[in-house]
Structure 1
Amino acid sequence: MGKAYVLLSVSPGFRREIAVEPVPVPDHGDPEAEFLEKVLGGVTRGGREDRWVPARSVLEKTLESEESKEENLAKGTQLLEEALDIMPRFFEARIYLGHAKNLGGDLEGACDEFRKVLRASRSLPIRGFALENLGNVYLQMRCYEEAARCFRRVVLGDVLSRDPRFATSWFNLGLSYAFLGRFQESLECFRNLYEGFPEKRKAAGEMLAGHKGLGEILKKNPAFAGELRRSFPEFF
């Protein structure tokens, strides 16, 4: 529910998608994953289903109430903190807590949550999400070297070869280099995304078009802008 409230604070339409089905819990050998598998086992394996339905019903009714973004964010943060009091190594909850702190304007607090995950988790996907989130907060803080360091760890590690969702780190690394004025390195990152993940081109183009900061860089550096358009036409 904490995750639901945080996402609802970003998009009110999220209530239409909540509680349709439980998210499958990957088995990484973590105690938290085993705990959640036991909780969700009634749905995923057909037993104890009656225990899940009331919780789902409560969640649906709660999210039907019209509340402000701030109220939803505060509730989500509180629920995530309570979950972590019970299970400090519930890394997915800690990542969402960091996201909640970011949405609330506590950028240093958000970074701290993501660093805690990186210090403690050995799961490649969990570490990948923590690095991406940490890098994005560094971008907000205009700490571009630190951001680039996070995204490099994702693209040069094993997680990207196993999960194409992390291809966004090529985009964000290219963005970081662009802000640093390292345009050739930026172009190489966008090329890796464009050629290696053609299914991501449309989404990447939408991100490029909607990024105000990058738009300003392109205006100030027409040669870089021209090379981007020539090399990656499907981005534009």
Structure 2
Amino acid sequence: MTAAVLDLNADLAEGFGAWSMGDDAALLEVVTTANVACGGHAGDPSTMRAACRAAVAHGVALTAHVAYPDLQGFGRRFLDIAPDELTDLVIAQVGALSAIARAEGTSVRGVKPHGALYNALAHHPAQAAAVVRALVELGGELPLVAAPGAVVAGLAEEAGVAVVLEGFADRAYLPDGTLVPRTQPGAVLADEDAVLAQALSIAAERRVRAADGSLLDLPVRTLCLHGDTPGAVALARAVRDRLTAAGVRLEAAL
């Protein structure tokens, strides 16, 4: 098997007030990058600060997990937001997390859109341009995490913004390289063997088998492990163990 280098990322701070989703402490023992919710789909100042503090303690890199302003829908509903407004929302969310990270002695090292926004940026030119504009106006130094072939990836590169391509260990793919919508059966892989096989294929071969059985090239540098599904932490640990056993070197991409 060809030696490979891969980043493992997971979404953290997905709570609000007394409500919390996922086991951040356990995931930080597994991943190399933490995507911290910063007020759009989840997250408040205290949850954000706790996540930053914990990430520092574990030596884990931070990205701003920006999203539509949709706490009720957990950011998984498309919102037809005007481009200027979306630019401002991204700047505000990244800015808030950056300030909190600085207070904890660290910094935000990239931006990863969440949920419906992430999906929209694959094919929605206006919203993609709005997000790229936000990154440029923030100084152009924060890389963007995006799916291979996404419209936003091309626009970011044209604007001089670095792009880190991402794959998913526990999501099914369509033949065109996009994710199977969560509204369809089988969108989220629940079988451990299937998740481990997909993670290893992405890491070692940079390919993934689509839902119809075809093989897709997936030239990614980071692999997402979701933390909001039952048994997610144990599955994340199993993925890490399988990859390291196969000689894959795990380190942050940002």
Does the TM-score normalized on the shorter chain lie above 0.5?
Answer: no
Q: Relative CO higher for 1 or 2, CA cutoff 8 Å, sep ≥ 6?
A: 2
Bigger strand fraction: 2
